[in-house]
Chains A and B, each alone.
Chain A
Amino acid sequence: MAFGFLSKVLGQGLEKLRTGLDRTREAFLGSLKSLLRGRTLDPQLMSELRQRLLLADLGVAATDKIMTDLEAARKAGRVASGDDVLEFLKAEMKTYWPVESRELTFAAQGPTVILVAGINGAGKTTSIAKLSWYLKNRNKTVMVAACDTFRAAAVDQLTIWAGRIGVDIVKHQMGSDPAAVAFDACHAAKARGMDVLIVDTAGRLHTQDNLMRELEKIRRVIGKSIPNAPHESLLVLDATIGQNAIRQAVEFKKAVDLTGIFLAKLDGTAKGGIVVAIRHQLGLPVKFIGIGEKPDDIAAFSPDDFVEALFTESPAAG
């Protein structure tokens, strides 16, 4: 690949990223209204803050915890104004998600396996396409495994993405055993000396016991084929998701020992605040965010941007 082309692609990626983030940050044509700027932290602002956190889907428990911490900080004289609140929350979120926790873990040797799971329609397949593109642009060789053999045309969907991005794919017939696909993919990834293998799985509800067992089996097969694999098990969450995501995280963690979250669809008006509740309960970090439907609509998760976005007026809610 010519250097010029690569830098152009990367440049576009960065530009895209910037505009994507701008979209989350400013939401709409400069309609950004800060709730916090230039205000003192009085009961009125506290109550507005609480409402804002609830509107961002943090849920009652996580919201109350933050409000309690904030109140303590206020009493201790550490926060007095709206601007302080912003800084306070950013610092808080950074303690929730230290930078190391947000990085991908790579295998010391041999292929790194990333298992991707989540409920139906969360954005798994698209996020895998993005992640493949992201890693490919960081000079990794990437292979994807089409372990969703259930949903109509799921294999076709991943095949099209693999072709567009230019990564290898391992697939079987629709309806075949997904664990067998994972097994083949692991061996192919080793044989072809791949850096990364990303495994797509069928969407499933965490309440579907048999399907959760199936997921466990996929993970077991991967672990037997490649030592210490999967190195990452990512739960894809749709940013619009509500409180049920906590249940999802609990159950998927039980099944495949999650290592992190891919928060998709942050380019809408939803804030994805449920990840805070999940962090409180399970300690799971967010590793990436999805901000559109194209391969370069991906970014590493940033606690600062996340907090900024919380206080951005949603155009539709305005």
Chain B
Amino acid sequence: MFDGLSEKFSSLFRNLSGKGKITESNVRQAMEEVRTALLEADVHVQVVQSFCDRVIEQAIGSHVLASLEPGHQMVKIVFDQLVQLIGPADSTLFYVDPPPTVIMMCGLQGSGKTTTCGKLALYLKSKGKNPLLVAADTQRPAAVDQLATLADQVGVPVYREDSGNGPVQICRRSVDFARANGRDVVILDTAGRLHIDEALMAELRQINQVVRPHQILLVVDAMVGQDAVNSARAFNSQLELDGVILTKFDSDTRGGAALSVKEITGKPIKFLGVGEKLAMLEEFHPDRVAQRILGMGDVLTLVEKAQQQFDAQEAEKMQEKISKATFTLDDFLQQMRSFRKMGPMKQLLGLLPGAGSALKDVDLPEEELDRTEAIIQSMTRREKESPDVIDGGRRRRIAAGSGTDVRDVSQLIKGFMTARTVARKLSGMSMSQRMTMMRGMGDGGIPGMTGMGHMGDAAPAKQHRLSPEQKRKLRDKRRRGK
């Protein structure tokens, strides 16, 4: 479900990293993608605007401009900003002493209030509370019966009155009922109403005045579009909300309304409704929802893991070694290890936007990587630094020492020589060029390095970058070969 946006972010990565350093115009260009992504996720037009302005300001003012991986850092800035804006994670409800604590639920028609009341009752029950559900929706036909059925399922009493009584009186009397019957939390299920319906909004204000609920929660359908802002603003200004519950989050909606509502009301999102079953109420985690809004899959996990594993200096040193061809089998081993520390290879590559689809069918067997490690470990220092010295006899010794075949050893060495060349070439390429190149490559070469055999056949293992002239010759040679 995140495909569309992952794709967009791959291009964002490409655009940024292709240019080495990002400039202000890079940032602005990248933010266009973010802007579209947010709009497609239903974030309100003006909220999108202010969000992007904030990110641009932050990105330009920070060290991002000189950083090594501008794409990654840019994504991180966007993400962090989003998390900060839709957060904090605050699912606490507070309770008054003496009880009962009164919680009023309100919202538009069809947002899911009644079901959410049932869910909240179950949640409170699991926290050792004794809730009372109050049927104050006297508008919609059978709404009272619906709540009574849910109350029954949860095993919580329901307070209802004969039809004809108004919701204000019902709510007021329900609190007395709770006090007399030892119920410590009262949940008021009010009728859905339009925020521009003066009479019905006045009714809510009246309940608020007469009953003085301790907390007022707005129930919002996570699928709503731009209008989220209008209703949230109206409910908040007339009732002074304490929090928001977003429903229907089990759908594939991107849920941008979360950001709009938070921006407009400033009130925390407390819970998410994630299914029709009454147990399906989750505490709110801003990071998860932010990822969903951006449609980013797990790219951030990757960014974070990468950050933990490589510190920037280390990476820079490696980069330099690669481009200067002082890259040895030892370096390779070290890099492979730190890469593997991040998690199984395939999972890791799958996290990369764009790479997921490109590498979908590629097998990355972990045992082969183990074997590669073993082989390199069985080499002498000299062998690791200049693999050209490894003759037949040495190969046999290394194979015996690592418990592998001579063939494996030969393959690794050949692959490494090739890879070194390729790595040098890659280091001078943009992300998109790299992706195209990787995709075009077949099997062979170093196990687990998605094979670079074909390139190896074509490219001489020269110790410097290919000149345009050499590149042209290579191209011709390849063409003739076919």
Hey, which bits of chain A sit against chain B, CB under 8 A?
27-28, 51, 54-57, 59-60, 119-123, 151-154, 156-157, 159-161, 164, 205-207, 238-245, 247, 265, 267-271, 274, 293, 314-317
Chain B residues near A205 (CB, 8 Å)? 248, 250-251
Q: Tell me whether B248 and A120 are in contact (CB under 8 A).
A: yes
Q: Tell me whether B231 and A60 are in contact (CB under 8 A).
A: no
Chain B residues near A316 (CB, 8 Å)? 195-196, 230-231, 233-234
A242-B42, A270-B227 known; A153 and B149 CB under 8 Å?
yes
Interchain nearest-CB distance for B251 vs A (Å): 5
Q: Tell me whether B227 and A268 are in contact (CB under 8 A).
A: yes
Q: Tell me whether B248 and A317 are in contact (CB under 8 A).
A: no
Q: Tell me whether B229 and A121 are in contact (CB under 8 A).
A: no
Q: Tell me whether A269 and B223 are in contact (CB under 8 A).
A: no
Chain A residues near B254 (CB, 8 Å)? 243-244
Q: Tell me whether B146 and A151 are in contact (CB under 8 A).
A: yes
What class of interface size applies to chain B in its complex with A? Answer: 35 or more
Q: A152-B150, A241-B223, A314-B230 are in contact. List 9 more A-B contacts (CB 8 A).
A: A119-B248, A120-B276, A159-B142, A205-B248, A293-B140, A316-B195, A316-B230, A316-B233, A317-B229
- Please tell me if B167 contacts chain A, counting CB pairs below 8 Å: no
Q: Tell me whether B227 and A123 are in contact (CB under 8 A).
A: no
Q: Tell me whether A244 and B234 are in contact (CB under 8 A).
A: no
Q: Tell me whether B112 and A269 are in contact (CB under 8 A).
A: no
- Please tell me if B139 contacts chain A, counting CB pairs below 8 Å: yes
- Please tell me if B356 contacts chain A, counting CB pairs below 8 Å: no
Chain B 165-195, CB within 8 Å of chain A: the 1/0 string? 0000000000000000000000000000011
Central interface residue in A57, A207, A244, A269, by most chain B CB within 10 Å? A244
User: With the chains together, A275 CA to B108 CA distance in Å?
Assistant: 20
Q: Tell me whether B225 and A269 are in contact (CB under 8 A).
A: no
Q: Tell me whether B39 and A54 are in contact (CB under 8 A).
A: yes
**Which residues of B (105-156) have their CB < 8 Å from a CB of A?**
108-112, 139-143, 145-150, 153
- Please tell me if B259 contacts chain A, counting CB pairs below 8 Å: no
Q: Tell me whether B108 and A268 are in contact (CB under 8 A).
A: yes
- Please tell me if B203 contacts chain A, counting CB pairs below 8 Å: no
Interchain nearest-CB distance for B360 vs A (Å): 23
- Please tell me if B402 contacts chain A, counting CB pairs below 8 Å: no
Interchain nearest-CB distance for B226 vs A (Å): 5
Chain A residues near B153 (CB, 8 Å)? 152
Q: Tell me whether A238 and B252 are in contact (CB under 8 A).
A: no
- Please tell me if B40 contacts chain A, counting CB pairs below 8 Å: yes
Chain A residues near B45 (CB, 8 Å)? 51, 54-55
User: With the chains together, A315 CA to B197 CA distance in Å?
Assistant: 12
